[in-house]
Amino acid sequence: MIFKSILAGAVGLAAGLQFTAPAISQETVKVGLIATLTGPQAASGRQKVAGARLYMQLNGNMVAGKKIELIIKDDTGVADVTRRHAQELIVNDKVAAIAGFSLTPLALAVAPVITQAKMPAIIMTAGTSVITERSPFFVRVSFTLPQQSVPIAEWVAKNGAKTAVSLVSDYGPGIDAQNAFKMRFEEKGGKVLEQLKAPLANPEFSPFLQRAKDLKPDALFLFVPAPTAGALMKQVIDRGLTEANIKVIGTGDITDDDQLNGIGDSVLGLVTSHFYSAAHDSALNKKFVAEFKKANPGMRPNFIGVGGWDGMHAFYEALKKTNGDTDGTKLVDAMKGATWESPRGMMTIDPQTRDVIQDVYIRKVEKRDGELYNIEFDVVKQVKDPMHK
Ligand code: VNL
């Protein structure tokens, strides 16, 4: 009896095997998404995961005959945790690529790991220029701070500012933003009176804002990582800086679409430069925003969400190009020079630097249908990072 049923089971198994053989040979290709889902920067991880998932939802999970599986890890914003997840994803999960990286130190932490493993790593957020130079396996679909800061320096100089003060978070992207801003503003005849830096952790901006106010510059240039924007802008408003005859400007991180409605009407009219606005006027972006909202009730996509979307797109297209070959070097080569339409507009991966070339928009905070948006009114076309040699 037992023997019979084992036999029957074995026959069934054999038949089943034969029947499902094509499905078994259908390989799964894994992508590890390391996001910051807890801690002070958790808003970034939420956006990134939502953007990546939406891309897969709307574009399917079959690429070059392989099934794409996304493995999501929370690095809590701590570089050691990012590195450990990267190692485990590579060694245990055998992923074909990793992606994510909110804060610059998290991206830098995986550079030696990906170089050694020849593992493509798609940067969806972090914006310090030097990151892509730290490993030939980095590809960036987000932005760099110098790329965003130069256009706003030009805009504010053109609009009559002769003096400026900058205030940034004291780490990679802040330093990059501040230096690029100063370089171009002074090339255009302006003078940066002081470059102020506030600690990244537990930010207390008030003393720096008071110092900036006392210097009475024509303009105050600001950068903080987007999840910190609400805290910064509240203190900017409380100090009366937006009314003090000082033109407050910055990169779009300070008015990002996730935080903006919470910051409130006091920032109406504030001008920033950035590569993405939820109000960007294109058919693809309208669809992206509508689908994002439908899939994530109560959320509106920001530039980090778009980074999640475009990071998946870069991977899908590369895998198509290699006909499903997951060799890391081949995948990175396939991403070099790739051009596509993103919800942000057209973008290209620079084949020399593996960094993103894209339009940078000048935008102003306005109210539309009862919500605050960054409304684009000028554009610098296809900007390369100015720091890469
Ligand atoms: C960075 C740059 C992070 C800009 C951000 O938000 C941002 C970074 C998380 O490179 O650390 O808005």
Residues with CB under 6 A from ligand 1: 41, 44, 102-104, 125-128, 173, 225-227, 253
Measure 129 CA to ligand 1 centroid, in angstroms: 12
| Nearest residue by C-alpha to atom 7 in ligand 1 | 225
* Tally of CA atoms within 13 A in the half-sphere of 186 that contains its CB: 12
Q: Is the pLDDT of residue 26 over 80?
A: no
Task: Quick: pLDDT tens for 339-381.
Answer: 999 999 999 999 999 999 999 999 999 999 999 999 999 999 9
Q: Where in the chain is the domain with CATH 3.40.50.2300?
A: 25-143+281-354, 146-274+361-383
Q: What is the pLDDT of residue 50?
A: 98
Nearest atom within ligand 1 for CA of residue 102: 9
Tokens matching residue 71? 């493995």
| Nearest residue by C-alpha to atom 4 in ligand 1 | 225
Measure 17 CA to ligand 1 centroid, in angstroms: 49
Nearest atom within ligand 1 for CA of residue 173: 10
What 3-state DSSP class applies to 56?
helix
Q: Is the pLDDT of residue 10 over 60?
A: no
Residue count of the chain, please give it.
389
Q: How far apart are the first and last CA of the chain?
A: 77
Assess if CATH 1.10.150.530 describes domain 146-274+361-383. no
Identify the residue whose tokens are 């485990």: 88
Measure 9 CA to ligand 1 centroid, in angstroms: 56
Q: What is the pLDDT of residue 389?
A: 73
Q: What is the pLDDT of residue 85?
A: 98
Find the farthest-apart pair of alpha carbons in the chain and give their distance in angstroms, rounded: 94
Measure 104 CA to ligand 1 centroid, in angstroms: 7
Q: Which of 325, 318, 303 is nearest to 252 (CA)?
A: 303
Q: Is the pLDDT of residue 15 over 80?
A: no
Measure 73 CA to ligand 1 centroid, in angstroms: 18
Query: Strand order of the sheet with strand 138-140?
Result: 62-63, 66-74, 28-35, 97-100, 121-123, 138-140
CATH of 25-143+281-354, one of 3.40.50.2300, 3.50.50.60, 3.40.50.150, 1.20.1050.140: 3.40.50.2300
Mutate to test the pocket of ligand 1, among 36, 103, 306 (most ligand atoms within 8 A of CB): 103
pLDDT category at 5 given cuts 50, 70, 90 is very low
Phi first, then psi, for residue 254 (nearest 5°) are: -80, -10
- pTM of the predicted model as reported, rounded to 2 decimal places: 0.93
Q: Is the pLDDT of residue 6 over 90?
A: no
What whole-number distance in Å separates Cα of residue 262 and Cα of residue 257?
A: 10
Contact 299, 293 (CB under 8 A): yes
Q: Compute, in degrees rounded to 10, the torsion defined by CA atoms 316, 317, 319, 324.
A: 100
Measure 317 CA to ligand 1 centroid, in angstroms: 26
Q: What is the pLDDT of residue 25?
A: 54
Contact 278, 251 (CB under 8 A): no
* Tally of CA atoms within 13 A in the half-sphere of 250 that contains its CB: 28
Q: For residue 232, give the H/E element and its range.
A: helix 229-238
Measure 306 CA to ligand 1 centroid, in angstroms: 14
Q: What is the pLDDT of residue 203?
A: 78
Nearest atom within ligand 1 for CA of residue 226: 12
What whole-number distance in Å separates Cα of residue 239 and Cα of residue 234?
A: 9
Q: Is the pLDDT of residue 201 over 90?
A: no
Task: Quick: pLDDT tens for 47-82.
Answer: 999 999 999 999 999 999 999 999 999 999 999 999
Tokens matching residue 240? 């009366």
Nearest atom within ligand 1 for CA of residue 228: 6
Measure 226 CA to ligand 1 centroid, in angstroms: 6
